[in-house]
Amino acid sequence: MPIVTLLTAPARRLLDPALVEALRNAWGGGAVQWLAPDEAAEFEVPEIPGNRWEVWADVQAQGVDLVVQPRGGRRKALLLADMDSTMIRQECIDELADEAGVGARVKEITARAMNGELDFEGALRARVGLLKDLPVSTITRVLEERIDLMPGGKVLLATMKANGAYAALVSGGFTDFTSAVAADLGFDENRANTLLSEGGRLTGEVGMPILGKQAKVDALVEITGRLGLSEADVLAVGDGANDLGMLHRAGTGVALHAKPAVAAQCDVRINHGDLTALLYLQGYAASEFVTG
């Protein structure tokens, strides 16, 4: 039987019990299980409701995310995550561009690429080219001063890993950033592009081959094969057009605070919750979260 999950931002706790009960009654659902008071709840339904997207739009306006998915196999054995605007709040290349004085131009290209309007590889080369001659030391300063983790990330990783899951950070960004973020959050491995440098300055070129949309799918296939898992065992999360391949292949693909054109192609959309939403989607209650 499908299961309906309703959740909201942890900082606001806007999930009204009356809303949950009204929806349960309308859809002929089973008993409500509260995963976190006023924040996350779930209930089974006999079938996927025909009006779920109309209801989804209604509850979105109330600051609530709604997901309908199969109940079986929800707890995943592999987390495959994008980095920029997913595990961290920022786009690393945009932050570097600000330091190089070309922020506005690079941000425009990034936004169009993530929305699927531009070829990812071409857009990456163009943006990296604008960083030519930027001191390599700028990367460390950006990491220390301009990069913030997305809320809920450490709890997501700690909880899934405590329950036996493997975690891989797969980014179209750069290894200088993914290695640091992966170590901070507890990822088992990370994959990304390489910024080339010479004499302590960026050359304006990126190492080949470029890791784009297909590389994320390849990572899913390779890692599941290595670990003896199926694609159904994967929870993938991302926000950009280059994430769609892995989001569609994974057992559960989550569009997190995604670009509209990306979210429209995904059945699981989280716009209000933080990364702990991925735990609620797997049926974890807040009392099961690993926070230390």
Active site residues per annotation:
82, 84
Determine the Cα–Cα distance for residues 73 and 269; give it in Å rounded to an integer: 19
Contact 168/191 with Cβ under 8 angstroms? yes
Q: Under DSSP, is residue 64 helix (H, G, I), strand (E, B) or coil?
A: strand
Contact 257/49 with Cβ under 8 angstroms? no
C-alpha distances in Å from residue 49, one per residue of 15, 29, 42, 52, 60: 20, 10, 15, 5, 17
Contact 42/3 with Cβ under 8 angstroms? yes
Residues paired with residue 41 on neighbouring β-strands, in sequence order = 6, 34
Determine the Cα–Cα distance for residues 96 and 131; give it in Å rounded to an integer: 8
Beta strands in the chain, from DSSP E residues, in sequence order = 2-8, 33-36, 40-44, 64-70, 78-81, 166-174, 189-193, 195-198, 201-206, 234-238, 252-256, 268-270
Which two structure tokens, joined as six digits, stand for 203?
A: 């050359």
Contact 273/7 with Cβ under 8 angstroms? yes
Give the distance, in angstroms, between the CA of residue 71 and the centroid of all CA atoms in the same chain.
21
